[in-house]
C-alpha cells in the first residue's frame, strides 16, 4: 500500500491513528456527543452499520464497501474506548488479542504442526463446530443466536442449529398468523437445503423490485420540456 508521498505504509498504521482519534473524541475537551455515549446507546448503530455493510458487499461497489467497513470499525473502536474507562474494563488491544487467540484456536490446520492439512472448506466448517462445542459448552443448540437478527436470518440460523443437532421439530400452526409463519419458515428451510441465504435472497429481490419502481416512475414522469415543444404544456396565465 503506497502513501501519498510515494512511501510504503505499514499495514495497520492507520488503525493506530484511528485509535488515537477515537481517544481524542472521547477525552475531556473532545466531542460532547461522543462523551455521552454508552454501550447501550451505541447498540442500534452497530446493527444499522452491519446491515449497511452487508448491502455494500452485495452491491459490488468498492468505494461504498470501504466506507461501510470504516463505519463498522468505528463501532468497534468506540465500544473498546468506553470499556477502557471502566475499572474492570478492557481496551482495543484486549479485543484484538481475544480475536487472534480465537482465530488460531479455530484454525489448527494452519497454525499448528499437528493440524491436518489439505482440508476442504466443508471439512473446515465441521472442524469449527467441534472446536466451538468443546470450548463454549453450550446447554442448548440455540445459545449464541442473537434475538436481534432479522427474522429470516434468525430463522435460517435456528434451522441450521436444529439440523446439526439432529433434532426433529414439527411446527404446529393454529391461527392465520401461525400458518403464514409456518409457510415462511418452510421457505427458509427450502433455502437452507439449497444453500441459499434467505435474508440475502429477499434483499436482492427487494432491490430488483425497487429498480422496477424507479423505472416505472421515470416512464410515468411527465417531460415538461417535450410538452412545451409540442404545445401540450399548461398555458401561461395572462
Q: What is the mean pLDDT of residues 222-232?
A: 52
Outline which parts of the chain fall under CATH 1.10.287.1080: 9-90
Predicted confidence (pLDDT) per residue in 142-152, tens digit: 888 888 888 88
CB 61 within 8 A of CB 52: no
Q: Is the pLDDT of residue 220 over 60?
A: yes
Indicate the SS3 state at residue 2.
Answer: strand
Class in CATH terms, 9-90: mainly alpha
Please give the Cα distance from 171 to 182 (Å, whole number): 7
- In tens, the pLDDT along 3-35 reads 555 567 788 899 999 999 999 999 999 999 999
Tell me: the pLDDT tens digits for 155-171? 988 988 888 788 887 76
pLDDT tens track for 204-213: 899 899 999 9
Mean pLDDT throughout 37-42? 96
Q: In the numeric block, which cell numbers belong to residue 24?
A: 481524542
Region 23-52: mean pLDDT is: 95
Q: How sure is the predictor about 89, in pLDDT bands with cuts at 50, 70 and 90? A: very high
Q: Residue 90's pLDDT is what?
A: 96
Rounded to an integer, what is the distance from CA 50 to the centroid of its chain?
3
Q: Is the pLDDT of residue 172 over 90?
A: no
Q: Tell me the average pLDDT across 36-64.
A: 93
- The top-scoring range by mean pLDDT among 92-106, 110-124, 127-141 is 92-106
CB 106 within 8 A of CB 126: no
pLDDT at 225: 47
Cα distances from 2 to residues 9, 11, 19, in angstroms, run 6, 10, 21
Nearest-angstrom CA–CA distance, 220 and 153? 36
Residue 56 CA to residue 71 CA, distance in Å, equals 12
Region 114-134: what's the mean pLDDT? 76
Q: Look up the pTM and report it.
A: 0.69
What pLDDT score was predicted for residue 11? 85
When pLDDT is averaged across residues 96-103 and rounded to a whole number, the result is 94
CB 109 within 8 A of CB 127: yes
* Residue entry with cell 391461527: 175
pLDDT over 80 at 234, yes or no: no
Amino acid at each position: 500500500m503506497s502513501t501519498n508521498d510515494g512511501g510504503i505504509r505499514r499495514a495497520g498504521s492507520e488503525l493506530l491513528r484511528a485509535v488515537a482519534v477515537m481517544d481524542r473524541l472521547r477525552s475531556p475537551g473532545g466531542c460532547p456527543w461522543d462523551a455521552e455515549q454508552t454501550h447501550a446507546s451505541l447498540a442500534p448503530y452497530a446493527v444499522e452499520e452491519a446491515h449497511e455493510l452487508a448491502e455494500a458487499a452485495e452491491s459490488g461497489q468498492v468505494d461504498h464497501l470501504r466506507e461501510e467497513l470504516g463505519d463498522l470499525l468505528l463501532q468497534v473502536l468506540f465500544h473498546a474506548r468506553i470499556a477502557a474507562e471502566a475499572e474492570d474494563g478492557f481496551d482495543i488491544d484486549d479485543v484484538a488479542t481475544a480475536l487472534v487467540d480465537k482465530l488460531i484456536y479455530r484454525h489448527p490446520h494452519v497454525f499448528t504442526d499437528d493440524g491436518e492439512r489439505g482440508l476442504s472448506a466443508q471439512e473446515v466448517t465441521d472442524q469449527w463446530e467441534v472446536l466451538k462445542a468443546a470450548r463454549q459448552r453450550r446447554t442448548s443448540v440455540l445459545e449464541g443466536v442473537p434475538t436481534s437478527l432479522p427474522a429470516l436470518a434468525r430463522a435460517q440460523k435456528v434451522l441450521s442449529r436444529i439440523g446439526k443437532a439432529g433434532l426433529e421439530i414439527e411446527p404446529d400452526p393454529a391461527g392465520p398468523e401461525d400458518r403464514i409463519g409456518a409457510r415462511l419458515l418452510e421457505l427458509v428451510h427450502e433455502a437452507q437445503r439449497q444453500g441459499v441465504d434467505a435474508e440475502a435472497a429477499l434483499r436482492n429481490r427487494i432491490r430488483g423490485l425497487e429498480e422496477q419502481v424507479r423505472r416505472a416512475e421515470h416512464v410515468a414522469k411527465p417531460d415538461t420540456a417535450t410538452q412545451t415543444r409540442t404545445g401540450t404544456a399548461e398555458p401561461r396565465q395572462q
